[in-house]
Amino acid sequence: MDITILGAHNTESKDTGLVTLLIDDILAIDAGALTSRLSFAEQLKLKAILLTHQHYDHIRDIPAIGMNYFIRQKTLDIYGIPPVYESLAAHMLHEDIYSNFLEIPAGKPTIRFNSLEPGREDIIHGYNVLPIPVDHSKPTVGFFITSANGKTMFYTSDTGPRLSDVWRSVSPQLLIIETTAPSEFEDAAIEKKHLTPSLLEKELQNFNDIKGYLPPTVLVHMNPSEEEIIQKEIAKVAARLGASIKLGYEGMRLQI
Ligand SMILES: [Zn+2]
Ligand SMILES: [Zn+2]
Q: Where are the domains of the chain?
A: 2-255
Measured CA to CA, the distance from residue 128 to residue 152 in angstroms comes to 9
Ligand 2 geometric centre to CA of 73 (Å): 31
Ligand 1 geometric centre to CA of 136 (Å): 7
Ligand number nearest to the C-alpha of 178: 2
Task: Pick the closest to residue 154 from 220, 93, 65 (CA basis).
Answer: 220
| Cβ proximity of 80 and 73 under 8 Å | no
Rounded mean pLDDT, 231-248:
98
pLDDT value of residue 175:
98
| 3-class SS of residue 256 | coil
In whole angstroms, how large is the CA radius of gyration of the chain? 18
CA max distance for the chain: 57
Ligand 1 geometric centre to CA of 105 (Å): 31
Amino acid at 48: A
Task: Pick the closest to residue 112 from 145, 143, 88 (CA basis).
Answer: 88
pLDDT value of residue 176:
98
| Residue range 67-120, pLDDT digits in tens | 999 999 999 999 999 999 999 999 999 999 999 999 999 999 999 999 999 999
Ligand 1 geometric centre to CA of 2 (Å): 25
| Residue range 158-193, pLDDT digits in tens | 999 999 999 999 999 999 999 999 999 999 999 999
End-to-end Cα, the chain, rounded Å: 5
pLDDT value of residue 34:
97
pLDDT value of residue 66:
98
Q: Directed axis angle between helix 197-211 and helix 227-241, to 10°?
A: 30
Ligand number nearest to the C-alpha of 9: 2
Ligand number nearest to the C-alpha of 19: 2
| Residue range 200-239, pLDDT digits in tens | 999 999 999 999 999 999 999 999 999 999 999 999 999 9
**CATH code at 2-255:** 3.60.15.10
Ligand number nearest to the C-alpha of 140: 1
| Residue range 105-152, pLDDT digits in tens | 999 999 999 999 999 999 999 999 999 999 999 999 999 999 999 999
**Residues contacting residue 225 through CB under 8 Å, at least 6 positions apart:** none
Measured CA to CA, the distance from residue 23 to residue 41 in angstroms comes to 16
Measured CA to CA, the distance from residue 21 to residue 26 in angstroms comes to 11
| Cβ proximity of 156 and 178 under 8 Å | yes
pTM: 0.98
**Residues contacting residue 147 through CB under 8 Å, at least 6 positions apart:** 1, 24, 126, 127
Measured CA to CA, the distance from residue 55 to residue 52 in angstroms comes to 9
